[in-house]
Structure 1
Amino acid sequence: MSLPNATIVTGASSGIGRAISEMLLADGTTRVVNIDYTEPGWSHPNLSFFQADLTNAEATSAVARQVTSQFAVTRLVNNAGATRPGTADTATVADLDYVVGLHLQAAMLLTQACLPAMRAAGFGRVVNMASRAALGKPERVVYSATKAGLIGMTRTLAMELGGDGITVNAVAPGPIATELFRKSNPEGSEQTRRILASIAVKRMGTPEDVARAALFFLSPDNGFVTGQVLYVCGGTTLGVAPV
C-alpha cells in the first residue's frame, strides 16, 4: 500500500510557514505536515501537526522517521527559524549552537529523511528559508552566519541531487512583518523607521509575499531552476547582493 503524498513545512504554526502552508492547501494537490515546537492556532482537514524541538538532533531524527513512515514526502520547506540577536562582543556559543541546530542541522536531517521518497518518485522539491541577513547585518552575528551557511548547503545539494529530479533552492526574505520581526524591531521604534526608509518599495513585506516565492520553487513546472537564491526583500539588497 502506497503512502499518501505530503509536503513538510517546518515552523508552519504561524508567520511565513503558515502562509506557505495555507497556499499549498488552497491548491488542493497535497497534504501539509507542519513540524513545529508550538501548536498551530489554525487547522485544515489536510494539515497534520507533529511537535518537535528541531534544535535537537535526536528529536529531529525521531520526528522525521515518524513523518516519513506515514507519508511519502516529495516536497520540503525548511522554514523554522530564530534570530538570537548578538554582536561581535555579545554573541554566545549557546546562541550559535541553537541557530546551527535549527537552521542547518534540522535542514540537513530532514532533507536526508525525505530523499528515499523523492528518489523513488523521480521528483523532489526542497526550499530552504535563508535571509537577506546572509549578506551581513549588524547585531546578527550567529543568525547571518547560519543563513549564509544554508545558502551554501542549498547550492551543494542542488548539484548533488539534480540528477535525481530533485531541485533545491532558497528564499531569502528581507524585512517581513511577522511576530519574529516585531520582537526585534518594535513598531514605531527608531530602528524600525530606519528599516522602512531603506526599503525601495516603501512598505514592509508580508508572509504572503514570501509564500508566493516559495510556491514558485515548489511547483512541479519549475524543474529547470535549482541552486538559486531569491531575495524577497523589497529592494533592500540593491547594491549589496552579488550579481
Structure 2
Amino acid sequence: MNVSSSPERLLVTGGASGIGRAIAEEGMARGWDVVVIDRDPSPIGKSVLADLADTASTATALEEVLANGPVTRLVNNVGAVFPGPLREQTLAEMDAAFALNLRCAVQCTQALLPGMTDAGFGRIVNMTSRAALGKELRTAYAASKAGLIGLTRVWALELGPLGITANAIGPGPIATELFTKANDPERTKQIVDSVPVRRIGQPDDIAHTAGFFLDDRAGFVNGQILYVCGGLTAGIAAA
C-alpha cells in the first residue's frame, strides 16, 4: 500500500500542555491533522474535551474524533503520578493510575485499530517512564507505566504483520507541570545533578523522539522502548 494515501491524522491524549502539547506541535510541523483529547482545551490542533480517567467520557470523545475519519497515528500520552510511599499509597490511587495511565491507552488503541488495519499502516507510541525501572515513592505510577511497556511489546507482535508499529518512550526528568508538582526544589536539584548531561529535559526532547517513531520511515522500528533521560538509565543514579 502507498502510505501517503492513508489519512495523515495524529491523536494525542493529554496533549493540552507539557509533553503532549510539544508532541502536538511536532505533528502540526510535520503537516499532520492533529487532534488532542484532554480535560483542558488544547491550543494546538482540534481540541476534544474529555475526562480520560472515565471510560464513558473517553468513548464519547473517541466517537467524535473518528466521526471525521480514521486516525493512523496515536500517542498514548496522558498520565498522572500519584506520588507517595507504599505505606500511604491508597487503593483508590492505584485504581486511578491504572485507569488513566493504562486502561485509557488500551481503549484508545482499540478504537483506532480498525482504521489502521484498513489502511495497512499505523504508528502507536506509548508514553511510559524511566520510573518503570524503579523509583521510590512511585508505586502506582511505576506499576502502570511498566504495564505500558508490556502492552507495547505485545502490540508490536500482534500488529506488526498489519503494518502497524508500537513503540514506547520512557522520559527521564522533564520540565513540566507534572514534574514540578511531584518534586520539591531540593529534590529537583538532586535529580539534575545526577543527570549525566547535567540538565533537566524539555518537552521538545520527547516530541522529537515521538516524531521519529511516528514517521512513515520508521516502519522497521517496532516493540522498542527508548529512554530519553540524559543518560540516567546508563547506570545507577539518584533520580
Which TM-score applies when normalising by structure 1?
A: 0.92
Q: Provide the residue aligned with 1:73 in structure 2.
A: 71
Taking only the aligned residue pairs, the percentage that are identical comes to 52
Q: Which amino acid aligns with 2:39?
A: Y
Listed as ranges, the gaps of 5+ residues in structure 2 are none
Shift of 1:17: 0.6
Q: Provide the residue aligned with 1:226 in structure 2.
A: 222
Alignment pair present for 1:24 and 2:27: yes
Shift of 1:71: 2.5
Output one character per residue of 1:49-83: Cα deviation in whole Å (capped at 9) or x when no partner: 11111111111122112211212100000001110
Structure whose residues are more often helix by fraction? 2
1:1-243 equivalent positions in 2, closer than 5 A: 5-28=8-31, 30-40=32-42, 42-43=43-44, 47-186=45-184, 189-239=185-235
Separation in 1, partners of 2:87, 2:102: 23
In the TM superposition, structure 1's runs of 4+ consecutive aligned residues that sit over 2 Å from their partners are 2-5
Q: Which amino acid aligns with 1:101?
A: A
Separation in 2, partners of 1:150, 1:191: 26
CA RMSD between the two structures: 1.6
Aligned residue pairs: how many?
233
Separation in 2, partners of 1:155, 1:112: 16
Q: Which amino acid aligns with 1:22?
A: E
Indicate if the aligned counterparts of 1:3 and 1:70 stay in contact, CA closer than 8 A: no
Q: Do the aligned partners of residues 124 and 35 (structure 1) sit closer, same or farther apart at CA in structure 2, a change above 3 Å counting?
A: same
Separation in 1, partners of 2:132, 2:86: 16
Indicate if the aligned counterparts of 1:36 and 1:52 stay in contact, CA closer than 8 A: yes
Indicate if the aligned counterparts of 1:74 and 1:124 stay in contact, CA closer than 8 A: yes
Output one character per residue of 1:76-98: Cα deviation in whole Å (capped at 9) or x when no partner: 00001110112110001111111
Separation in 1, partners of 2:235, 2:173: 17
Which TM-score applies when normalising by structure 2?
A: 0.94
Separation in 1, partners of 2:148, 2:57: 20
**3-state SS of paired residue (1:9):** strand
Shift of 1:4: 5.6
Separation in 2, partners of 1:100, 1:62: 20
Shift of 1:23: 1.2
Separation in 2, partners of 1:48, 1:205: 27
Q: Which amino acid aligns with 1:220?
A: D
Indicate if the aligned counterparts of 2:128 and 2:169 stay in contact, CA closer than 8 A: yes
Output one character per residue of 1:86-122: Cα deviation in whole Å (capped at 9) or x when no partner: 2110001111111101111110010000011101110
Separation in 2, partners of 1:190, 1:182: 11
Listed as ranges, the gaps of 5+ residues in structure 1 are none
